[in-house]
Structure 1
Amino acid sequence: MKHTRVVLAMAACYFLFAILLNSVGTVILQAINSFDVSKAQAASLEGFKDIPIAIVSFLVASFIPRIGYRLALLGALFLVALMCLLTPVLGAFWALKALFASVGCAFAIVKVTVYALIGQVTEDAKGHSSLLNTIEGLFMVGVLSGYWIFAAFIGEQADSLSWLNVYYLLGALTLVTALLVISAPMKKPQHSKELPLKDEFVGMLKLAYQPLVLVFILSAFLYVLIEQGVGTWLPTFNNQVLNLPVDIAVQLTSIFAASLAVGRLLAGQLLKHVHWYSLLNVCLIGMAALVLLTLPMTENLEPRSVNSLFDAPLAAYLMPLIGLLMAPIYPVINSVMLSSLAERLHAPMTGLIVVFSALGGTTGSLITGFVFEYIGGQQAFYLSLIPMFGIAITLFLFKRRAQAQASACAL
């Protein structure tokens, strides 16, 4: 394959940022233990990660073609490498905020660049879809790897700062990734004179006025609220509610990431035979049933000796399986939404998806953190039933609007 080095560089970037972005749940737990911050304060790390992704992904889209893909990727990677190497030296909670803000800004650049590069190195729609799925699949492998990498640096002393040494390893991996980018033969993109940033922003807002888009935005917002609320706080739930040691609590969270990956692969096959609306409703019912089945098992658990993964209570294995059921929802509604729009509207729609996904992720983590802090861990996870019910309503409206728009386009 003549574009092997370019593909390898893209895959390495996505793998690296999967580890960094999805470490936020582990870092929240460690920040609570190491820096003695409240759960509500620790939850702010999600915002420092997601808000820059939302803002920067919109702002940089028109600039990247001017400076070139290689320079854009290298700028993002060197920023992250610098922050990874500084964080253990600074050893403060504010340094973690700065790190996640940098990672969010850099990932926005990386995502826009990688999606553009995929079009440059593929020749047809089939090749594009295949490579995109491969890159996204490697992202999930990175998520899984991240839990185990961080767990390896977590010691028995909960308040120790030695776990921050993981960022020396991640800084080194970032520099290796930068070398792959330097060696990859990336063409400088051809671009026409772009619209002013103000006009692009106004066009995106006008798109959001459409009823179908509004319903979709609410559906995506509620989904990400659940995913990030559960995924980010699962390590803390395992540690403080299920009384598991920190390293085992983090390792068991990897089941959630694995469930998401398997769920999306299975959904890809099921959707060939089942209508998307039926499948997603079954998933929502299953998610609610799993929450109602698992959380009563976590009440009044007595502390016991847990020396390995096999000593953990059954609830520690059941709760992460919610990822298997929620996995199809987000990619399916994205696909239905984009398929309902003209191709020229896909770019601004993607911008809206990123913005409201980031806002949903931050909101979910903050709400879960506040409830976890002041009411309790079980109640925080019971709270996920509310957005599940909300998604059921928005999916019904979304299906009706999508069918109406498809019928209008056919006339």
Structure 2
Amino acid sequence: MHNMRTILAMGACYFLFAILLNSVGTVILQAINTFGVSKAQAASLEGFKDLPIAIVSFLVASFIPRIGYKFALLGGLSLVTIMCLVTPIAGSFWALKALFAAVGCAFAIVKVSVYALIGQVTDSTKSHSSLLNTIEGVFMVGVLSGYWVFAAFLSEDIASNNWLNVYYLLCALSIITMCLVWFAKIDKPANQILSHGSAKSDFFNMLRLTYQPLVLVFVISAFLYVLIEQGVGTWLPTFNNQVLNLPVDVSVQLSSIFAASLAIGRLAAGQILKKVDWYLFLNICLAGMAVLVLLTLPMTKDLPQTQVTSVFNAPTAAYLMPLIGLLMAPIYPVINSIMLSSLEKHRHAAMTGLIVVFSALGGTTGSLITGFVFEYMSGQHAFYMSLIPMAIITVTLFLFKKRAQQVACSSAV
């Protein structure tokens, strides 16, 4: 119980950043409506969010223990607080770009600090795993809450920028989180384990891992998975609004089904995988994803011209498409677990760096591709495109399984 303030501070940090990071789909829709930017331009917001996470998390990982986790957390939260104040005042698309860049940088600092602090406040593998899952669970609660928080500030006048007032609320939440961090008992590491090499040498050591066939197949699989997840998740509010002709607030609220599906899918998969082989299970999930896309998208054509006023009278397709999250949810955690368990423990940090980098690149690429296809073809074509990486993942999973088995056999010998 003496660590409760620290745990509460970590949970508050993750809750806040879950709302900010996963609001990008809603903000893309509003940027198109409010500022008149193209879908391709709006898609760049994903890059402003993801690339700083990848770059900063790698650069600061070994530096944060030197300055202390409390100082690092307060610094990241201060940056977010300032940008949440600036964004509604500036009321422009460039301010949204700056906001997401700041959020990406701050989250990289927060994630590194929180993961390190979990090790400080736990004293066993079981308690570490339990707390980590709790913190990640808080993150999913934040994701779900974010859709409804933003929807509460949306109005029928789609050209109005009054929705930016949501950032005043998030600014207040950030200040409260800073107070929790300030009063939490977070000690500076007494025995710092610092890298003796330069940042350049650390970076090349990380990249050398990709020379291993197993790692190369893994990063391709992770890249493609995040490409699908971010492509669908980020553009789902816009899809609901412009393809299904739903009101903006209803479009955003129904998108929360996707986040809920991801959360439920990962919880359920944890139990299913105790009895089912991971390779068979993931292939069933991929097949189910493809079937759901092929069944749902034809339902979005020639919809009846009835006015939708709430989430309760939306067309069936609006409920079915987000359910793809149930099927895709297990893929990423499973391949991460298998990859890390096949490496020596001293390589886990470098591997985690690769996971963050390629996940960020996959998320940005997925959003950009979906945005361009949405802009120049149609929303249906954009979501049909997800079938291509699904097919490629089935191939990479087969190669991944073979390589993992070879590594396990060689380790046993």
Letter aligned with residue 240 of structure 2: N
Look up the match of 1:342: 344
Matches of residues 204-353 of structure 1 in structure 2 within 5 Å?
204-353=206-355
1:157-205 Cα deviation digits (max 9, x unpaired): 0000000000000000001000000000011112144221111111101
Look up the match of 2:28: 28
1:254-297 Cα deviation digits (max 9, x unpaired): 00000000000000000110111111000000000000000000
Q: How many residues align?
A: 411
Look up the match of 2:85: 85
Matches of residues 4-403 of structure 1 in structure 2 within 5 Å?
4-189=4-189, 190-194=191-195, 195-403=197-405
Please list every run of at least 4 consecutive aligned residues from structure 1 whose deviation after the TM superposition is greater than 3 angstroms: none
Match of 1:254, SS state, is: helix
Moved more, 296-305 or 262-271: 296-305
In the alignment, structure 2 segments of 5+ residues that lack a partner are none
Work out the CA distance in 2 between the residues paired with 1:406 and 1:277.
15
1:43-85 Cα deviation digits (max 9, x unpaired): 0000000000010000000110000000000000000000001
Match of 1:99, SS state, is: helix
TM-score for the superposition, normalised by structure 1: 0.99
Alpha-carbon spacing, 1:408–1:145, altered in 2? closer, same or farther (3 Å): same
1:306-333 Cα deviation digits (max 9, x unpaired): 1111110000000000000000000000
Letter aligned with residue 158 of structure 1: I
Work out the CA distance in 1 between the residues paired with 2:260 and 2:286.
19
Work out the CA distance in 2 between the residues paired with 1:114 and 1:390.
34
Work out the CA distance in 1 between the residues paired with 2:221 and 2:80.
32
Match of 2:246, SS state, is: coil
For the Cα contact (< 8 Å) 2:62–2:194, is it kept in 1? no
Letter aligned with residue 363 of structure 2: G
Alpha-carbon spacing, 1:264–1:193, altered in 2? closer, same or farther (3 Å): closer
Work out the CA distance in 1 between the residues paired with 2:172 and 2:115.
25
1:102-152 Cα deviation digits (max 9, x unpaired): 000000000001000000000011111000011001100000000000000
**TM superposition shift of 1:234:** 0.2
Look up the match of 1:2: 2
Work out the CA distance in 2 between the residues paired with 1:98 and 1:300.
39
Match of 2:152, SS state, is: helix
Work out the CA distance in 1 between the residues paired with 2:412 and 2:193.
32
Letter aligned with residue 36 of structure 1: G
Work out the CA distance in 2 between the residues paired with 1:193 and 1:295.
52
**TM superposition shift of 1:5:** 0.4
For the Cα contact (< 8 Å) 2:214–2:403, is it kept in 1? yes
**TM superposition shift of 1:41:** 0.3
Work out the CA distance in 2 between the residues paired with 1:285 and 1:198.
42
Work out the CA distance in 1 between the residues paired with 2:242 and 2:201.
49
Work out the CA distance in 2 between the residues paired with 1:319 and 1:312.
12
Work out the CA distance in 2 between the residues paired with 1:89 and 1:176.
21
Work out the CA distance in 2 between the residues paired with 1:391 and 1:299.
28
**TM superposition shift of 1:39:** 0.2
For the Cα contact (< 8 Å) 2:40–2:368, is it kept in 1? yes
Letter aligned with residue 222 of structure 2: A
Alpha-carbon spacing, 1:193–1:238, altered in 2? closer, same or farther (3 Å): closer
Match of 1:153, SS state, is: coil
In the alignment, structure 1 segments of 5+ residues that lack a partner are none
Letter aligned with residue 26 of structure 1: T
Tell me how large the CA RMSD over aligned residues is.
Answer: 0.6
